[in-house]
C-alpha cells in the first residue's frame, strides 16, 4: 500500500500531467470507487480546472478552481492518463474526461481505494480525527511522549494508527523502529522519555530519507509517467526475513502483530515491556 512517501513522489508527475486541464465529463463504472453520492461527485468535478496536487498522510489531493478531488489508493489504486480512444486498462473504475481528448482513468483491481470530491467551501471531512501529517512541524519528542506514553498497546501498530500520526504504514514503521533500536512489540507506556527521543529522531530521519528516495512501492501508481518511486525494497528490515541485519549480521525475523507482519532484528531492537 502506498504510504506518505509514495504519494509524495506521485505529486509532481501527476501535477505535470494534469495542471491547467479541465475535467469535462465523469463516468463512474464502479460505484464503490466513489465516496458519497455519484451525482454530487459529478457536480463537484465536472467543469473544474486542475491547478495542483497536494498530499495529507496517504491521501492525495487534486486541487482545482472548484475544490478538492481526494484520492486514497489503498492496495492497488492507479491513474492512467490516456487518449480516450485507447483501450482501457483492466479494472478501470472511474473515467474523468479532459478537455484535450485525454482521460484520467482510475484503475483499482482490488477496489479498496476511492475518490471523493469536495466543493471549495466544504470542509475536508476525511481529515476528521486524523493525526498530524508526518511532515507537520508540531511532531517532536514532546509530541511522541504526550501522544504515545498514555497508550498500553504495542508500538508498531500505534505508529501506524492514522489518528495519531497520518501517513505511516507497515514498511516505514518497521524502518523507524529499526533505526530507533526498539522492538516492534514493545509497549508504548513502558518507553522512557529517552526512548521517545530516539524514536522521534529515527522518525524524523526515516521520513526525510523516504521522501528523498521517492518512496518504495510494489506497483506503479502512475504508469507511463516519470514517477520515480523505487520498486526494489532497499529497506533494512521490511521484507528481509531470514537475511542478515545490515548492522549486526543477526538474522532478521518476522512476527505477526495484530494480523500484520513486523520485520525486526532481535539483536539490535530492544524489547521494552
Measured from the CB atom, the residue of 204 and 267 that comes closer to Zn ion is 267
Q: Is residue 265 close enough to count as binding Zn ion by CB under 5 A?
A: yes
Q: Is residue 182 close enough to count as binding Zn ion by CB under 5 A?
A: no
Determine whether 260 is an active site residue.
yes
CB of 250 vs Zn ion, minimal distance in Å: 5
DSSP lists the bridge partners of residue 244 as 251
Q: Is residue 267 close enough to count as binding Zn ion by CB under 5 A?
A: yes
CB of 180 vs Zn ion, minimal distance in Å: 13
Scan for cell 498522510, then name that residue. 57
Under DSSP, is residue 150 helix (H, G, I), strand (E, B) or coil? coil
DSSP lists the bridge partners of residue 97 as 25, 103
Determine whether 2 is an active site residue.
yes
Are 73 and 113 in contact by the 8 Å Cβ rule? The answer is yes
CB of 198 vs Zn ion, minimal distance in Å: 15
Determine whether 8 is an active site residue.
no
Q: Which of residues 70-99 bind Zn ion (CB under 5 A)?
A: none
Q: Which of residues 220-249 bind Zn ion (CB under 5 A)?
A: 245, 247-248
User: HSE (CB half, 13 Å, CA atoms) of 109?
Assistant: 7
Figure out which of the listed residues 18, 188, 202, 268 binds Zn ion, where binding follows CB under 5 A: 268
Measured from the CB atom, the residue of 171 and 245 that comes closer to Zn ion is 245
Q: Is residue 38 close enough to count as binding Zn ion by CB under 5 A?
A: no
Residue 213 CB neighbour total at 10 angstroms: 14
Determine whether 3 is an active site residue.
yes
Distance, CA of 156 to CA of 183 (rounded, Å): 8
User: Within its chain, how far is the Cα of 1 from the centroid?
Assistant: 7
Using the rule CB under 5 A, give the single segment among 49-57, 163-171, 227-235, 250-258 that binds Zn ion.
250-258
Of 17, 55, 58, 240, the catalytic one is 58
Distance, CA of 181 to CA of 203 (rounded, Å): 12
Write the CA distances from 119 to 21, 43, 67, integer angstroms: 18, 9, 4
Q: Which residues bind Zn ion (CB under 5 A)?
A: 245, 247-248, 250, 265, 267-268
Q: Which residues are catalytic?
A: 2-3, 58, 260
Amino acid at each position: 500500500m502506498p504510504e506518505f512517501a509514495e504519494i509524495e513522489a506521485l505529486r509532481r508527475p501527476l501535477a505535470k500531467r494534469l495542471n491547467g486541464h479541465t475535467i469535462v465529463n465523469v463516468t463512474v463504472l464502479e460505484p464503490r470507487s466513489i465516496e458519497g453520492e455519484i451525482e454530487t461527485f459529478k457536480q463537484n468535478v465536472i467543469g473544474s480546472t486542475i491547478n495542483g496536487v497536494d498530499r495529507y498522510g496517504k491521501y492525495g489531493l487534486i486541487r482545482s478552481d472548484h475544490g478538492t478531488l481526494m484520492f486514497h489508493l489503498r492496495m492497488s489504486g492507479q491513474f492512467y492518463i490516456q487518449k480516450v480512444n485507447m483501450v482501457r486498462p483492466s479494472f478501470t473504475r472511474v473515467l474523468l474526461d479532459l478537455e484535450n481528448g485525454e482521460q484520467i482513468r482510475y484503475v483499482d483491481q482490488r477496489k479498496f481505494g476511492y475518490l471523493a470530491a469536495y466543493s471549495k467551501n466544504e470542509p475536508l471531512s476525511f481529515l476528521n480525527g486524523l493525526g498530524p501529517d508526518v511532515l507537520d512541524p508540531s511532531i517532536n519528542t514532546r509530541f511522541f511522549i504526550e501522544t504515545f506514553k498514555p497508550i498500553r498497546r504495542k508500538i508498531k501498530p500505534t505508529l501506524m494508527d492514522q489518528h495519531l500520526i497520518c501517513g505511516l504504514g507497515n514498511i516505514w514503521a518497521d524502518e523507524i523502529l529499526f533505526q530507533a533500536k526498539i522492538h516492534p512489540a514493545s509497549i508504548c507506556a513502558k518507553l522512557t522519555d529517552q526512548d521517545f527521543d530516539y524514536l522521534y529522531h529515527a522518525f524524523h530521519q526515516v521520513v526525510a530519507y523516504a521522501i528523498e528516495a521517492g518512496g518504495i512501492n510494489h506497483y506503479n501508481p502512475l504508469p507511463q509517467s516519470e514517477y520515480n518511486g523505487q520498486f526494489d525494497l532497499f529497506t533494512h528490515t521490511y521484507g528481509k526475513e531470514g537475511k542478515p541485519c545490515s548492522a549486526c549480521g543477526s538474522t532478521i525475523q518476522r512476527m505477526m502483530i495484530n494480523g500484520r507482519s513486523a520485520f525486526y532484528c532481535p539483536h539490535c531492537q530492544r524489547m521494552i515491556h
